[in-house]
Every structure is written in structure tokens, then in C-alpha cells.
A = this chain, B = another copy of it.
Amino acid sequence: MKLCMIGARGHSYYVLNDLPELEDVKLCAVASGDENPSSLLQTAKTWDPRSYDDWREMLDKETPDVLSIDGPFELHAEMCVEALNRNIHVFCEKPIALTLSDLERIREAYEKSEAEIISMTALRWEPAFYTAHQLVRAGKIGKVMLIQTRKSYKMRIRPDFYKRRATYGGTIGWVGSHAIDWIQWFSGSTFASAAATQTRAENRGNGEMETAAQCLFTMKNGVLAQASIDFLRSEGAPTHGDDRIRVVGTEGAVEVELGRLFLTDEAGYREITELKSPGRGFFASFIDFIEGKGAPPASPEETFETTRACLKTQQAADEHNIQVF
């Protein structure tokens, strides 16, 4: 399998992390997708890929089987469509589109394509979250009723593309994709409605970037959910991010807090210290799926649904209304 990569803004290191265990996959070439290719060339130098200034030229000349897309956010959709039109499998940074019309273009291309597409929502694969999901699927908390998620990041000094909605897309999609993906994953349902609030106050000169957002969801199967998203994590905090989830069912609850997993059920409240790992990287699992060797770590339909939910929720926050899906 020939692999090409565009850009390294976000989570494309998942690809590089998994390459050593993927004997069938060869990294042939990289393109930056924007003005500066040095970052990706540097991180990928072990594999000595060819380098292109023009990503379309790379696709023309290399004819890859798989493409990692992690360049400018506002070009994700165009790159996805181009790859799918060429039957190239796509592993794309989330969100895969910044507008609903771009998302629709990707879906149309996908439906005509022989290739698969998933986004880099690999926080599903973190051991505490993965184990929590296994407990829920095993029925340990009964029927899922309520889900609350938290994504909190340090603000830090951000490159200019974060400062404009047109090149950033909004904090709900960029930070919140993971939280929204967890909700879909743990509820086992698609979204029915979304309301959201957001603020740009105290964003330390980051232009149009929202400092925080709060989201309220109903799912088609009746689950109620919330997501809390912010860039307000103190610089003194021990980790960059504070990722949490609370899933409450009719028989108990699982909570992930600071990488630890807690279960409440009829036997009481306790930490689950034996955390399980999927045993295979998120990108490697995608490759397995393409090769017909297993289920996808997140399906194309889930990728579309998470993206759509992010965009509709952003719209609800922008327009101060409730979006019915």
C-alpha cells in the first residue's frame, strides 16, 4: 500500500506512530498543503519520503492508496473530495469540513467512490475511554441515559489560522469533535438536536477564536448529552488537556477523569485500575479495515455524523437557536 501525507498540523502523528507495525504500508511522499513543509518533512524523515510543493501533483505522480490529510483546515474538504474521486482511502484530521455544504460534497464523493474515509478521532483509543466503552457495551451500567463530556485545553499562543473562523472553523468543531464523537460512540445513536453557547471573551488576542462553548444534545435513541469545551485550562495544570466523560445508565455509571476510570454500580463506587488497550493503533486499525481484516475504529458514517453534529452545533451557537437534525 502506497501512503502519502499532506500536512502535520494536528494528529497525523498517529500515522507515523503506527507505520513501524504496518509492513504493507510504505510512506512514499509528503506535501505540506501550505507554505511550510518543514514540519512534516522533519517528523517523517525516518521514511525518507519524496516531497512535493503541490499536493495535487503528489497525487498525480504517486497514485497513493491511502492519504493522510492534516493540512490547512479550510482545505480538508477539497482534499477529501479529490482523494475520494481518485479512489484513495482518506485518513483526515477532524473536522473533515468547515461547512455543511463542503461536508455534503465529501459525502457525495464518498458514495461514488470505492475508497473509505475516517477522521482522526483517536481519543476513543485512550485506555480509560476504551475500557469505559467496553464496560458500557458489556451492559455494566444498564441502558445508557445520560452522557457528559469535557474537553479543556490550555490556550497557549496560537498560530494565526486559529484567529479567523474561515481558517479555523470554530472551537466547537476543533476542540469539540472528540467530545461529540464520544457522545455518538457511547450512546450508540445519531444526533437529534443541539443547542449551544459560546464566548470569545478573554481569548488573549486570538481574534475570532472562541474561548469556551457549552453544548446540549438529544440523541435519536433518547439519550441526553452535554459537552463542555474550553481553552481555559490553567498553564499550571499538570497536563495540556483535561478530557472527561460521564456515562450514566439505568444500572450505574462510568466516569473517566484525568486518565482514570471509575465505575458506580450496585457493588458501589470504585476505580477500575485494569485499563485495556485496543492493542492496535487507530491508523493501523483503519488500514486493517481497508484490508477487510476488521471493523473500522470509527466508521465513515460516524465520521460524517460527528462532523455534521459539530457543524450544526456551531450553527446553533452562532444563531442562538436549537438545531433539529
A residues contacting B by CB (< 8 A) are 143, 145-146, 148, 150, 152, 193, 195-199, 201-202, 211-218, 222, 224-226, 228, 230, 232-238, 248-253, 264-269, 320-322
Contacts and interface: CB of A to CB of B under 8 A. Distances in A.
Contact of A146 (B145, B214, B251): B214
| Residue from the set A226, A232, A233 with the largest chain B CB neighbour count within 10 Å | A232
Kindly report how many copies of this chain are found in the complex they form together: 2
Nearest to A202: B250
A248 B145 contact: no
A218 to B, nearest CB: 5
Nearest to A250: B202
Nearest to A238: B269
Nearest to A200: B222
15 contacts: A145-B201, A146-B232, A152-B248, A195-B195, A199-B224, A213-B224, A214-B224, A216-B216, A232-B250, A236-B264, A236-B269, A237-B264, A237-B269, A320-B322, A321-B322
What DSSP secondary structure best describes chain A's contact surface? strand
Contacts of A248: 152, 212, 230, 232
Contacts of A196: 216
B214 A226 contact: yes
B268 A237 contact: yes
